[in-house]
Chains A and B, each alone.
Chain A
């Protein structure tokens, strides 16, 4: 120590430190320097800005593209459908629940079209009967509920009114019911013309209803001398139609004469 006394200040300090510590300081400084350099090179600049993570990662998460545009975006152009939907049972169902992600469609409405699920299976995702579904939610057993037919043939998906339950004859003879309501015979009960045994309800094929078997049956209203409303068209029962029964030429459920 004394050997270096009197030379400049720094040198005096340096050699003032015991030799073993001096030697130890060299690797310490090297390691510390390496750590500083490694930290500078490998840790991202923005790490620790908000917490123990990379701050720009938040931005990366926030900047990912949107696929579902949201129902407000749909309403901007398709106001008519939104109005239809607003009062119906499907008012809470977002457009994209059925039509799929539509953000691409909002950007390029001409070329990108969202899907229109017309199949039965799509509706059944929600409406197939499952014991686990909440009580009161409208469900059908698809095997027995008009099998094969797509749901949208009877139900308007934007305003799905449940069709009224069919009762009496129309429960089975829906096609005839739909025809007759448009004809002049709309006010007639089926049983006026069809003598139907009660058992027909239970075994329809074994106890078939009867059809009018005589010209006189129609003549009760349509013969010239019949006691019926004056608006009802009349025919001369003797000269008109000969040997044929009336319904062999005139379809009674839509009897307009051509």
Chain B
């Protein structure tokens, strides 16, 4: 059955396998060790007592309180240096006009930044209201899923951020977002979006749009804390999210939202 020489070959094969294993390990291990060392050195990335994993941020919007003044749009643009052109917004306000025959008209001149001008309808309006829109900071974000380079991601505190230095400007995420919350920065040519004012919230402030809203139509807080404004908002109101059938699990909650709102 077996020839005598085969035993010799078996031995050599075993040695080869060993060598290959050692060789592979010697290639991988230094890198792994380096990564581990780096991980140890940068556990406290923010330099303060702030621990991202202890927070989960969300926003609540009371539609019945919005007066369409556009202060949030203006505040956001000023806080985040959003380009002034009237088609780049991190947050914007839409006016819904529902006519007697059920036809829905939506407009948002300059995102509502300069307020809204008088009634526009030719038909008699059955009802009308304002809806502020913003990135929904989905728990299952389609934009993060499609990014080919890992330039957009979900932080441990639940905020969806963009790495402007790493973004290649392929616009894939802009296409993927079902809420139209992203745009391509006209100068940097990278994707941009609402960050929940990440630089403010890690310091204990609220996002700029929440800060300036004169009617407290916007509520912000930590979903992990039961006493936070957002948790209270969720308890006190009947809430819905936008496009729930897409299963994106938004963290922007709406109270008193009309079924016509998309």
Residues of A within 8 A of B (CB): 9, 12-13, 16-17, 32, 36, 40, 44-68, 70-71, 90, 92-94, 96-97, 100-101, 124-126, 128, 130-134, 137
Contacts and interface: CB of A to CB of B under 8 A. Distances in A.
A52 B153 contact: yes
Interface of B: 9, 12-13, 15-16, 19, 27, 31, 35, 38-39, 42, 45-46, 52, 64-71, 75, 78-80, 95-97, 114-116, 118-119, 125, 128-130, 150-156, 161, 163-166, 195, 198-200, 202-203, 205-206, 208, 211-216
B188 to A, nearest CB: 14
B115 A124 contact: yes
B128 A132 contact: yes
A133 B9 CA distance: 87
B45 A55 contact: yes
A132 B130 CA distance: 7
Nearest to A97: B212
A94 B45 contact: no
A125 B199 contact: no
Contacts of A133: 67-68, 130
A68 B19 contact: no
Nearest to A73: B205
Nearest to B161: A61
Given A57-B165, A66-B79, A132-B128, 12 more contacts: A9-B15, A45-B38, A51-B154, A58-B161, A65-B199, A70-B211, A94-B212, A97-B75, A130-B119, A132-B116, A132-B130, A133-B130
A232 to B, nearest CB: 53
B68 A130 contact: yes
B16 A13 contact: yes
Nearest to B34: A45
26 contacts: A13-B16, A13-B19, A32-B27, A50-B155, A55-B45, A57-B163, A57-B164, A57-B165, A58-B52, A59-B45, A60-B165, A66-B199, A66-B205, A68-B75, A68-B200, A94-B213, A96-B75, A97-B213, A101-B75, A101-B78, A126-B67, A126-B214, A132-B116, A132-B130, A134-B66, A134-B129
